[in-house]
Amino acid sequence: MPFNAKEREDIAHIWGKACGQAEALGAEVFDRLFKSCPATKTYFSKFNLEAGSADLKRQGGKILNAVGVATKHLDDLDSAFSQLSELHAFKLRVDPGNFDLLCHNILVVLAIHFPEDFTPAAHSAWDKFLASVSVTLCSKYR
Ligand code: HEM
């Protein structure tokens, strides 16, 4: 789905604020995901799932930095996420429904941490962007 100039600006602006705290924000995303959707914990059985643990910070940093890469590939998400979608589909075997759950929690954490920047237009742009990320990561399941 194409992004207009304002959407691109809102996506880049909020990522510019979030990128310096990817691990802390990502850990919070996972804490919210595990508390709101406990079944998602089953994929991380080897991790310490306590809020703010080193495992959650490391994994949270990985997913948010991958989202950060995606903010710079809005027109070619498929190729940017090709390896990651194969990893999740064929090796990790993550059920596709979980991507929307994670993306929703990313949205909530961004809204909480950047309330001034999270305008209705930015909300809409990030919702559209994360939905595209989710669809792309699920593309190998078809
Ligand atoms: C690993 C990104 C959604 C489960 C990873 C890695 C990245 C990543 C970058 C590390 C890959 C590597 O080390 O080569 C993302 C992004 C997501 C997403 C951008 C969506 C926005 C999910 C969801 C689940 C999940 C929804 C399951 C609920 C896992 C697991 C690993 C992993 C189990 C391996 C962890 C380990 O044992 O080190 N993901 N992921 N991911 N992801 Fe995702």
What is the pLDDT tens value at each position of the chain, 142 positions in all? 799 999 999 999 999 999 999 999 999 999 999 999 999 999 999 999 999 899 999 999 999 999 999 999 999 999 999 999 999 999 999 999 999 999 999 999 999 999 999 999 999 999 999 999 999 999 887 6
CB-ligand 1 contact for 40 (6 Å cutoff): yes
CA atoms within 13 A on the CB side of 88: 20
- Helix (H) / strand (E) element for 70: namely helix 54-71
> Which phi and psi (to 5°) does residue 58 adopt?
-65, -50
Q: Is the CB of 43 under 6 A from ligand 1?
A: yes
* Residue 108: per-residue pLDDT: 98
80 close to ligand 1 (CB < 6 Angstrom): no
Contact 32, 101 (CB under 8 A): no
Can you tell me the distance from the alpha carbon of 138 to that of 87, in angstroms, rounded to the nearest whole number? 11
Top mutation candidate among 88, 102, 108 for ligand 1, by most atoms within 8 Å of CB: 88
pTM of the model: 0.97
Q: Whose CA is nearest to atom 25 of ligand 1?
A: 94
